[in-house]
Amino acid sequence: MPLHHHLFLEETKMAHRYPKPLLDTLYCLEDHIHWEEEEQVDYNEYSNTTTTNTNSSNVVLLEHDLFWDHEELPSLLAKEHQNQLSNTLLQNNLVLASSREEAVEWILKVNARYSFSTLTAVLAVNYLDRFLFSFRFQNDNNDNNNNNNPWLTQLSAVACLSLAAKFEETHVPLFIDLQLEESKYLFEAKTVKRMEILVLSTLGWKMILVTPLHS
C-alpha cells in the first residue's frame, strides 16, 4: 500500500536522525491506521469515501513532515512526554484489556461511519487510554471495581469520542446518534455529559496530542 510505503520511507529516514520515542509514536500511529483500514473493509458503503479521504489526507500530511521546522521538534517531544501511555495497565488486567479492545473497536466503527478524520480517532483512543490508566491508578487496591462496572469503559469511549470530535471536527452528532453502532449499553445524554466532565478533569484538559499528523 502507498501508505505503508510512505511510512516505511519516513521510518528509514528518521531512524538516522531522530530519537527513538518518535519512532515509537510512528509505530503507534501505524497501528491505529491499520485498525481503521480493517474496519473500513467491513463497511462497504463508506469505504470508498473514507478510504480516499484518509489516504489523501495522510499522504499530504506525510509530505509536510519532510519540511519540518526544526524548532518544532523539541516542542513536540516535550508534549509527547506528557502523553506517554502505559502498557503495564493492560498487561495486568485482562478484563480491562478486553473491554478496552471492544471500546477501541467501537470508536473506529463510529469514526468511519461519520467520516471523521484519522486524527479524531487517534485523539479519542488516546483520551480513553490516559483516562483508563488514571482510573486504574486511583483504584489500584480495588480489583473488584472494574468487574462491578463493566459499562464504565464503554461510557468512557462514548465520552472520549465525543470530546475528540468536538475538538477536531466541524460537525458533531448528538450523543444518541453517536451511539447508533451496536454496543451493550445505551447511555443518556445527561450521563455522557457527566462523563465528559470527568474525563476532561481527569486529563487536566490536556486534549492536544502530538502525532506526525500535527506537523
Cβ-proximal residues to 165 (8 Å cutoff; 6+ apart), any chain: 114, 116, 120, 124, 172, 173, 178
Q: How far is the CB of 16 from other proteins (least distance, A)?
A: 26
Distance, in Å, from the CA atom of 52 to the CA atom of 71, rounded to the nearest integer, reads: 32
6 is a site residue for other proteins (CB under 8 A): no
Measured distance CA(161)–CA(112) in Å, rounded: 12
Contact letters (x/-) for other proteins, 145-184, by CB under 8 A? ---xx-xx------x--xx--xx--x-x-xxx--------
Smallest gap from residue 152 Cβ to other proteins (A): 7
Q: How far apart are CA 72 and CA 116, in angstroms?
A: 26
The answer to whether 76 and 69 are in contact (CB under 8 A) is no
Among 31, 138, 143, 147, binds other proteins (CB under 8 A): 138
For the chain, the 3-state helix, strand and coil shares in percent, each to the nearest 5, are 75, 0, 25
Q: Which of 102, 105, 150, 214 binds other proteins (CB under 8 A)?
A: 214
DSSP-assigned letter for residue 87: S
Q: What is the distance between the alpha carbons of residues 210 and 21, in angstroms, rounded to a whole number?
A: 12
In terms of CB distance, is 13 or 64 closer to other proteins? 64
User: Quick one: 174 or 180, whose CB is closer to other proteins?
Assistant: 174
Confirm or reject binding of residue 78 to other proteins (CB under 8 A).
Answer: no
Using rule CB under 8 A, residue 9 touches other proteins: no
**Residues 51-70 vs other proteins: string with x where CB under 8 A?**
-----xx--xx--x------
Please report how the helices 118-138 and 151-168 are oriented relative to each other, as an axis angle in degrees rounded to 10: 140
The CA angle 10-16-18, to the nearest 5 degrees, is 75
Is 99 an interacting residue with respect to other proteins (CB under 8 A)? no
CB 127, min distance to other proteins, A: 11
Per-residue cell: 24:
515509537
| Residue 103 in the binding site for other proteins (CB under 8 A) | no
What residues make contact with other proteins under the rule CB under 8 A? 56-57, 60-61, 64, 71, 75, 79, 117, 135, 138, 148-149, 151-152, 159, 162-163, 166-167, 170, 172, 174-176, 189-194, 196-198, 200-202, 204-208, 213-214
